Structure 1
């Protein structure tokens, strides 16, 4: 009978000791005091439940997030950023090329403008018969005019042309009607493409 009573008593390895061991395991795992295990599931409020939710992928409001949809959205955003940067770079490159072309035309126009007084002297020499065929001055005049042509310079201003105040500088108006033409050219004009380097100095008259 005494042996039976001793068997009913809790031994160090009995139920009380097992509860202590479970508590130690929970403490080592860092579980909150309010975590409850029900049928193998962790209820909300425990750190283990929060960990499982994070593994499944949730947003700040707790809604589930599809990793594939999220990656697709991020890819679309990065693609949009790259397209915007590409457009900005293309605009910048076109602007630089346009400015470079403008600078080139302005430099060429300045160069041609500095040569025009010499062209005027050759025109006056030709009017006085100093550019006869075979003379050294005629050979020089031909080469010099070839340089202007190679730079794209084009002379304009001839008698009978319709008067255009944008390219003709009138020093005298002898016309009596509304239709005005160039009656005499005192100085030729020059242009590079559509850019006027120098206007033509003319006298206005009536059409013949």
Structure 2
């Protein structure tokens, strides 16, 4: 009788052990399953694209670049057209300014010519002719002043190759080397620009 009770107790203990083994998974087992699922998901996500997908992606990128290139070309063409129009406009304005400037000079010189003709037509004496020529000279000088044309100082000045052109040299007592001692032809500025250098003789 005691042996039967002992066997029963042993069987109950074995069944209890089996029941314990079949219970819910431990936290470690659950963590391992989660990691495995995550790895499988990442592997699926990193799956290499097919050839068709690669070709389609490249085609889309090519279309985008072609669109960008066309936009840049349109911008460049517009800029070129605007620049061409600007260049033509400025060239026309420049030509008009030159033409207008020439016209103004001629208008200012016409009275000088009129006075020359009057002086030459005068059959009077030499003094009258001289007075007429002096009048014309003063009138012409006023025209030059109006257009900011002025003489270049030369005689007694030191030679400056930017303003003077030496035609001769001469040893002169009391004069410094390269001092201008004679002016053969006057030079002129137009504003600050030398439009004709003075022709001079300088001391050695």
Name the TM tier (shorter chain).
Answer: 0.3 to 0.5
Normalising by structure 1, we get a TM-score of 0.40
Normalising by structure 2, we get a TM-score of 0.41
Over alpha carbons, which structure has the higher Rg? 2
More helix by share: 2
